[in-house]
């Protein structure tokens, strides 16, 4: 990328930050005019946990029986902002932090596009990401997506670097970095936990350089384990059991698989109240020492209830999976705070334009389409399948669509007759002589 291109990119990044800052200001003022700090319930839980940490109190949400309720990274990042006496000011700076992280994500998308198509594609991708409505929204709301998205993109960039390099030592290094970033992403959003083995399985199906894929997976799992081990140790000390992410997996699974489930989330979790009462009544009857904590037992009970119901109602499970798929990929977002027809239209047009452009450009690559490009589609497949089991929402497709913006930008560059060629250092094959070398590694 030459000097002028770098200046253009910096200008786009500045515009991206200012757009997010303006949207954050509007969202913050709207919440204040309604007499509240947040307009979404999940934001309150993250801020409560951050306030606990800032005050030197135990990491728990409202009661000692919710000590593994949320993954810790986002509350840890928010804790310094929650230490002041004015919560509204702290929340405002949390939104500003989200704007900065969102701008970092735009830069990462530009880097990914540069690897695919050089300078023109990189600038187009940065422009698309700067104005992409959902990217702006995920930057300004106090939710873990703000920090998860740049970590997810960093994970994919490092994995791609590990795939490209011709050096085994560098491959290990990039693989460990990818795993470390993946571990941090899981500590922000636990749903990312299975992505690495899922992506490896996709790579095995594609059938390109399986030994290389396996080496990257092993290195990634080592890196992930190193980053997540403090959380695992802490959870084991509390429960006496291995808890890989949080103790909300069972309730989340039951949210998507129970009698009367619609495919959407029951935000009040009303179905958990009788289950909690049953667990406490059963505990009162026990004469032997109870297993682990109440939080752990309730999670296990919810998980078992979901599995039992699913086994007894396979047809309903399939129907729910279809409903969840439609909720994820709906043309018209509904519910929540998206109460503006203009906003919904903008989300629909931007999301599906990106998806179709990325699919079209991928189809033009023909024999050159390998893991170098395919990795961009894997998050969409992963989140779709995952949330066809749990609950479906437009919210779960949007981070994955950001990864498709670089391919969409390459499609636009091709349409507008800009050159679309990966820079040589960005597409180095083991022999340095082709786009898709089959040299074993």
* Rounded (10°) CA dihedral 398, 400, 401, 406: 140
pLDDT tens profile 169-221: 999 999 999 999 999 999 999 999 999 999 999 999 887 789 999 999 999 99
- Of the candidates 358, 363, 370, 405, which has an alpha carbon nearest to the alpha carbon of residue 114? 405
CA distance 142 to 316: 35
Q: Which of 175-179, 309-313, 417-421 has the lowest mean pLDDT?
A: 417-421
Confidence of residue 283 (pLDDT cuts 50, 70, 90): very high
By CB atoms closer than 10 A (0-12, 13-18, 19+), residue 116 is buried
The band of 425, judged by pLDDT with boundaries at 50, 70 and 90, is low
Q: Return the closest-CA partner of residue 409 out of 13, 133, 128, 105.
A: 128
The predicted pLDDT at position 5 comes to 83
- Mean pLDDT of the chain, nearest integer: 91
pLDDT surpasses 50 at 429 = no
CA 410 to chain centre: 23
Name residue, tokens 């929540």: 336
Q: Is 311 exposed, middle or buried (0-12, 13-18, 19+ CB in 10 A)?
A: exposed
pLDDT band at residue 419, thresholds of 50, 70 and 90? confident
Determine the pLDDT at residue 243.
Answer: 97
CB-CB contact of 137 with 394 (8 Å): no
Residue appearing with tokens 């735009």? 106
- Is the model more confident about 404 or about 343? 404
Helix (H) or strand (E) holding 393: none
126's tokens: 């940065």
Q: What is the mean pLDDT of residues 97-116?
A: 97
Measured CA to CA in angstroms, residue 152 lies from 45, 158, 166, 290, 343 at distances of 22, 10, 24, 39, 25
Q: What is the dihedral sign for C-alpha 344, 347, 350, 355?
A: negative
Nearest-5° Cα angle at 270, 267 to 276: 125
Averaged pLDDT, 215-230: 98
Burial profile 141-175: b = 16 or more Cβ within 10 angstroms, e = fewer: bbbbbbbbbbbbbbbbbbbbbbbbbeeeeebbbbb
Q: What is the pLDDT of residue 315?
A: 97
* Residue with the larger pLDDT of the pair 287 and 355: 355
Neighbour-count burial of 270, counting CB atoms closer than 10 A to its CB (0-12 exposed, 13-18 middle, 19+ buried): exposed
CA atoms within a 13 Å half-sphere pointing along the CA-CB vector of 264: 10
The pLDDT of 151-157, averaged and rounded, is 98
């Amino acid at each position: 990328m030459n000097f002028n291109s770098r200046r253009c990119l910096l200008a786009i990044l500045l515009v991206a930050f200012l757009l997010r800052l303006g949207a954050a200001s509007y969202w913050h003022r709207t919440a204040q005019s309604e007499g509240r700090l947040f307009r979404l319930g999940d934001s309150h839980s993250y801020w409560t946990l951050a306030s606990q940490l800032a005050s030197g109190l135990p990491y728990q949400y409202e009661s000692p029986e919710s000590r593994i309720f949320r993954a810790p990274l986002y509350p840890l990042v928010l804790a310094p902002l929650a230490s002041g006496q004015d919560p509204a000011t702290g929340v405002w700076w949390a939104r500003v932090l989200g704007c900065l992280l969102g701008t970092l994500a735009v830069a990462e998308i530009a880097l990914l596009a540069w690897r695919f198509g050089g300078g023109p594609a990189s600038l187009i991708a940065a422009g698309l990401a700067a104005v992409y409505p959902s990217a702006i929204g995920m930057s300004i709301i106090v939710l873990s997506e703000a920090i998860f998205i740049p970590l997810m993109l960093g994970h994919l960039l490092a994995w791609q670097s590990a795939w490209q390099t011709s050096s085994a030592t560098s491959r290990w290094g990039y693989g460990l970095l990818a795993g470390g970033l993946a571990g941090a992403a899981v500590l922000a959003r636990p749903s990312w936990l299975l992505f690495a083995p899922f992506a490896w399985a996709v790579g095995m199906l594609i059938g390109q350089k399986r030994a290389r894929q396996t080496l990257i997976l092993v290195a990634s799992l080592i890196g992930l384990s190193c980053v997540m081990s403090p959380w695992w140790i802490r959870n084991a000390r509390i429960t006496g059991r291995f808890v890989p992410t949080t103790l909300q997996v069972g309730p989340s699974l039951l949210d998507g698989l129970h009698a009367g489930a619609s495919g959407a989330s029951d935000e009040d979790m009303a179905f958990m109240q009788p289950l909690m009462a049953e667990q406490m009544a059963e505990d009162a009857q026990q004469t032997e020492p109870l297993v682990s904590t109440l939080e752990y037992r309730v999670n296990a009970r919810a998980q078992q209830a979901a599995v039992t119901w699913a086994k007894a109602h396979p047809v309903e499970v399939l129907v729910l999976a279809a409903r969840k798929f439609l909720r994820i990929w709906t043309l018209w977002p509904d519910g929540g705070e998206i109460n503006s027809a203009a906003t919904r239209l903008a989300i629909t047009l931007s999301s599906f334009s990106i998806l179709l452009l990325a699919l079209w450009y991928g189809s033009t690559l023909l024999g050159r389409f390998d893991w170098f490009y395919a990795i961009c589609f894997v998050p969409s497949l992963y989140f779709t399948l995952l949330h066809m089991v749990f609950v479906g929402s437009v919210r779960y497709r949007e981070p994955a669509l950001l990864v498709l913006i670089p391919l969409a930008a390459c499609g636009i560059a091709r349409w507008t007759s800009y050159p679309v060629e990966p820079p040589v250092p960005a597409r180095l094959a083991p022999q340095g002589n082709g786009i898709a070398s089959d040299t074993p590694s």
